[in-house]
Amino acid sequence: MKYLKVRRVSLLLMEKNIPKSVCMTANLAEANASEDDKIRAMMSQSNHEYDPIHYIKKLTGPPPANYTCYRCGKNGHHIRNCPTNGDKGFEPAQRIKKSTGIPRSFMMEVDDPSIKGAMLTSTGRYAVPTIDAEAYAIGKKEKPPFVPKDKSSSEEEDDPIPDELLCLLCKDLMADAVVIPCCGNSYCDDCIRTSLLESEEHVCPTCSQSDVSPDALIANKFLRQGVAIIKKLLV
């Protein structure tokens, strides 16, 4: 605070030595003043936006109706005024992630937000990614070492892989899944890059949009996670 007061006083003293007409001039290069006055006016104008009088004060009073305290998960107060501040035994409320970017067909609605992997959808309901729900239900199963494999299990027909995890080009499980921005479809990174580079106008193989740069491809982290889970289940 002491530094701000000294800075404020120095700016006021500087402005007193500058003619008001020069201090308020936008184009100092054409101002009718000496070079020293122009330099002082330039310094004054450059610091004007950072003057303490322009600082935004902290919010006071009750918060907006849609504000939720991230510490206790309740409305009616800012987080700095949370009644639980200073309570060492208090456990902060669990933050629910939003399901942004995940298709609804990949989600399964649940009633309990405390379920592992639960997310908040755009409709205000809670849901869990279907792939995650199946993985949580099955769990990781490890066979004891030195136990011979069950021949009957290897002969059984494998469960089909979801179509959403298959590349539209190679029809195989996606490797490094990426999203193409024109139509939003997903492919193997290598498959779609090769397809775009082999066409003269970088044409999308699905929607035929031209001038689609390979650099515009976006990593589909959700599908990559799903592929990783499927691979673990197939081992």
Q: How far apart are CA 53 and CA 4, in angstroms?
A: 10
Phi, psi of 205, rounded to the nearest 5 degrees:
-70, -15
pTM above 0.75?
Answer: no
Note the pLDDT tens digit of each residue in 56-74. Answer: 666 667 788 777 777 787 8
Note the pLDDT tens digit of each residue in 160-201. Answer: 678 888 899 998 889 899 999 998 899 999 999 999 988 888
Q: How many residues does the chain have?
A: 235
pLDDT (average), residues 231-235: 76
**Residue ranges of domains in the chain, CATH in brackets:** 2-54 (no CATH), 62-93 (4.10.60.10), 97-138 (no CATH), 164-234 (3.30.40.10)
Q: State the average pLDDT for the chain.
A: 76
Q: Indicate whether 27 pLDDT > 60.
A: yes
